[in-house]
Amino acid sequence: MTERAVFSAVLWAWMAVAAVTGALLLRVSAPYGRHLRSGWGPTLPAWLGWIVMESPSPIVMAILFALGNRRASPTAAAFLILWESHYVYRAFVFPLWMRSGAGRMPVVVAVSAIVFNVVNAWLNGRWLFDLGPDLGATWFADARFLAGLVLFAGGYAVHFLADRAIRTLRQAAGGAYVLPRGFLFERVSCPNYLGEMIEWFGFALATWSPAALAFALWTAANLVPRALSHHRWYKKQFPDYPDSRRAVLPFVL
Ligand code: NDP
């Protein structure tokens, strides 16, 4: 069996697992953060969990770029930069900012996220740096690349600013959970998730890659159910929670 055939089989299976995971997460909230509960085995500090589980993504992607046959390709280099710009933040900056928090995370969550990140980075890296077409410098003028780049950058800005707003509010509240106000929080409970989804659908468009599309679908499968859980939690926690707010898609969901 060629690597391309293995790649296709894994990609289709990966999308099917995303659909099943999304359906499961609608019934059972992933047990970390505010949804942490007993019965999920040993735990580790949440900030450490984030570093351990997210760092495989930037590392595997960088290795695949170095070993692939697109090292001289400007589009491959641009895709690597987009990927790393997200993951350096997610794997190292975000956990260190939350380091003062005493939160914990089940080891099983960190381990499943490591598996997810390794498979996801392998699919994306192999496609972009070897198996997929070399898009060439003319791709930079293609409408799909330009629109995808705008979405990626816009989504990045939204999730970064939402993370920062929450952190500031929480510090001001002495570490307690708060009812977020201002920015996109007036429209949805989880603007950080909205930003992240826009970012990865933008990446899929900019790279025109089936692996990146699978990742965007996975992101939605993880984050839409979690946003719905957060939304229910907010309504229970804060009786004055604004009725007009949706979970993750303004005016819709
Ligand atoms: P959350 O929004 O639940 O939490 C992010 C941080 O903000 C945590 O430290 C959390 O504390 C804190 N926080 C959130 N809301 C409040 C509040 N109202 N009051 C006080 N503190 C608050 O995000 P996740 O932890 O689920 O995810 C972190 C990032 O990872 C997100 O930006 C998400 O987009 C991304 N992610 C991406 C996935 C993908 O598939 N691509 C999957 C999962 C996450 P605490 O931990 O104590 O709740």
Q: Regarding beta strands 104-106 and 43-45, do their DSSP bridges make them parallel or antiparallel, or are they unpaired?
A: antiparallel
Alpha-carbon gap, residue 179 to 50, rounded angstroms = 24
pTM here is: 0.96
Question: How confident is the model at residue 97, as a pLDDT?
Answer: 86
Question: How confident is the model at residue 101, as a pLDDT?
Answer: 64
Cβ neighbours of residue 168 closer than 8 Å, sequence gap 6 or more: none
Over residues 125-164, the pLDDT tens digits come to 999 999 999 999 999 999 999 999 999 999 999 999 999 9
Alpha-carbon gap, residue 15 to 8, rounded angstroms = 11
Over residues 185-206, the pLDDT tens digits come to 999 999 999 999 999 999 999 9
Residue 99: which pLDDT band, with cuts at 50, 70 and 90?
Answer: low
| Of 32, 34, 94, 158, best ligand 1 pocket probe by most atoms within 8 Å of the beta carbon | 34
**For residue 153, which amino acid is it?**
A
Question: How confident is the model at residue 100, as a pLDDT?
Answer: 60
Residue 170: which pLDDT band, with cuts at 50, 70 and 90?
Answer: confident
Question: How confident is the model at residue 175, as a pLDDT?
Answer: 84
CB within 6 Å of ligand 1 — which residues?
A: 33-34, 46, 98, 101, 103, 159, 163, 166, 170, 177-178, 180, 192-193, 196, 218-219, 222-223, 226
| Percentage of residues of the chain with pLDDT beyond 90 | 91
Alpha-carbon gap, residue 157 to 58, rounded angstroms = 19
| Of 166, 224, 232, best ligand 1 pocket probe by most atoms within 8 Å of the beta carbon | 166
